[in-house]
Structure 1
Amino acid sequence: MTSRKTVVDKDSVDAQNAKYPDETRYAVEDEPELRATVELESQAKVDTNHPDARPEGMTLEGEETHLARTMEKKRTRQRLDDRQQSSRERRSREVASRGSHERRQAFQERAASVAPSQGSTDPRELCSRAELAKINEQAARLVEECDGWSRAAIARRLAARVVDGADISRAVLDVVEGCQREPGTVVPIAAVPEVDRATVSLDGEIVQLWATDHPAIAQSGLIADETDTIKFTVWEKSRKRPVTEGDQVVLRGAQKSWYQGRCSVAVTGSTLVTVQE
């Protein structure tokens, strides 16, 4: 059997190292330097700067930072004085109130230059006796048409339009349209499509009910008044009391919807349904 042992002469190795001195630079150190990874350094910063961190185990710099942050929190939570109302807060309220009053006066002066009725608390004071007689006559007639509005409120609106230069006929039309646009005002069914709101209030008679097999719809049919007829839908989730044909009902806060160019209303959970006796 042949042996393949290789005998290396130590002197020959030293001679090779002396011949190629540059290659000895890549020798591995016996005790390499240990350094923290990027993840460990990042986690150390988070632990040191965390608001809930405790001084124990921190460096001197971290402990001083923690104590300074704690003292700053305690200082900012204390009031400048121990009184119930700080003088600074009182002065701020006074300045804000005075500025608001001055801006309101400036706005009223500019508004009065454009619309004379805005310069008086009650525009009826600027009307003549003849104009007041017509205004009161129309206000008494519009009380029934403008649901929820008193005669005095309607008269003030009419007087404002007359003072601004409109005749009594135009003032009546503007006031009726304005009252109908106000939330909660019962409007004629014919005016429901023209109301610029997502919800409307209307009063009418249930003239027809339709059978429905859709699980989400409790009732559907037609409601009518002296002006027009409109479709209504009662959703099952609204949990409203069923109505019958011939009932005179008031729907407050009914949701408007459109389908194929036709307007309809829906009774939701926020709709108030009142059946009149």
Structure 2
Amino acid sequence: MSSNNASSNVVSVDAQAFEQPEAQTEADDGVEVVDETPTFEAAVEQETQAKVDANHPDGIAETSAERIHGVTLEQEERILGREAELEHISARADLGRQDGREERTREVITEQCGRVEPTPDPREQLSQEELADVNREAMRIQDEVDCGWTSAAIARRLAEKVRDGQDVTSAVLELVGELQAVPGAVVPIAKVPEVPVGEVTVQGTVQALWGPSSSAIQQVGLIADDSGKIKFTIWTRSKQPVVHEGQTVRFRAAAKNWYEGRCSIALTGWSDIHFPERGRWWDE
């Protein structure tokens, strides 16, 4: 029995060290044991020699056939970068000496940006007599057609037509028709049936007003200018201001209508009525 108890109490050395760690740091007499194992450090001479050996050509391992023999990786990257920079500078110098470089560059920029080279002014290609006629007619057109174009813009467009072979008279008639079709351009009332657009802007004097034949009509009457007169209808749903006989008004974006071969205009919700001669409240 005693032998069995003795064997059961046997503990391994590792277990004893784990269970009694303090016993390893103290001697039998209670004095603390100090670990005096020396720590080895490299001397200055040894560190210097290690750097020399590491950078020695014989100590560099070849990892690729493309590596530069005898240099470190940092030195190799610096050399390759410098070579690439010199190659780029040389290529730019060769490109700068090529013939037609500016023209090719302009073509590339034009293609990429979608820009078009400015065309020469057609007025420069006319004779002095033709240019004088064009400028005179341009000023007259600007006075007659209120389209927002300057006389210079009108003269340029007119010069293009004359340059292309038209005489001044036919070019003027064609351009006037084009300008009258511009949205917002004031059209002479006599020209309203001829303008190739569905909406026109006219200005004139309210010559007469009649009683509306339907509740859907707010007002109906005649508007006239120096060229002629035309019937107008203001629809109730358009919510336009009321006009009176004798007033000078401008009907903007009035819709053209045809009935029994006669042209008239109607003011809808898309139309506007302006009173050019009505004074501003801050001027009164």
Q: TM-score, normalised by structure 1?
A: 0.57
Query: Which segments of 5 or more consecutive residues in structure 1 lack a partner in the other structure?
Result: 1-94, 106-118
Kindly tell me the number of residue pairs found equivalent between the two proteins: 169
Determine which structure has more spread, i.e. the larger CA radius of gyration.
2
In structure 2, distance between residues paired with 1:243 and 1:176: 30
1:128: Cα distance to partner?
A: 2.1
What is the CA–CA distance in structure 2 between the aligned matches of 1:273 and 1:143, rounded to whole Å?
23
Matches within 5 A, 1:238-277: 238-277=238-277
Equivalent residue for 1:98? 111
2:145 alignment partner, SS class = coil
Per the alignment, residue 122 of structure 1 pairs with 121
**For the residues of structure 2 that align with 1:175 and 1:199, how far apart are their CA atoms?**
19
Alignment RMSD = 2.1
1:164 to 2:164 alignment: yes
- State percent identity of aligned pairs: 47
1:207 aligned residue:
207
Matches within 5 A, 1:91-240: 98=111, 101=114, 120-147=119-146, 148-240=148-240
Runs of 4+ in 1 over 6 A off after TM superposition: none
Deviation at 1:96, TM superposition (A): 12
Q: Distance in 2 between matches of 1:158 and 1:238?
A: 39
* SS of alignment partner, residue 221 of structure 2: strand
Aligned-partner Cα distance in 2 for 1:100–1:239:
47
Give the counterpart letter for 1:261 in structure 2. G
Task: Answer yes or no: is the 8 Å Cα contact 1:247–1:276 preserved in 2.
Answer: no
Partner of 2:73 in structure 1?
none
Query: Whole-Å Cα distance in 2 between the matches of residues 271 and 245 of structure 1?
Result: 20
Distance in 2 (alpha carbons) for counterparts of 1:212 and 1:271: 19
| Offset, 1:123 | 1.2
Task: Tell me by how many angstroms 1:129 deviates.
Answer: 2.1
What is the distance in 2 between the residues matched to 1:121 and 1:268? 44
- Separation (CA, whole Å) in 1 of partners of 2:274 and 2:189: 16
CA distance in 2, matches of 1:131, 1:121: 17
**Gaps (5+ residues) in structure 2?**
1-107, 278-284
TM-score (ref. length: structure 2): 0.55
| Contact 1:200–1:253 (8 Å) recurs in 2 | yes
Distance 1:195 1:140 in 2: 21
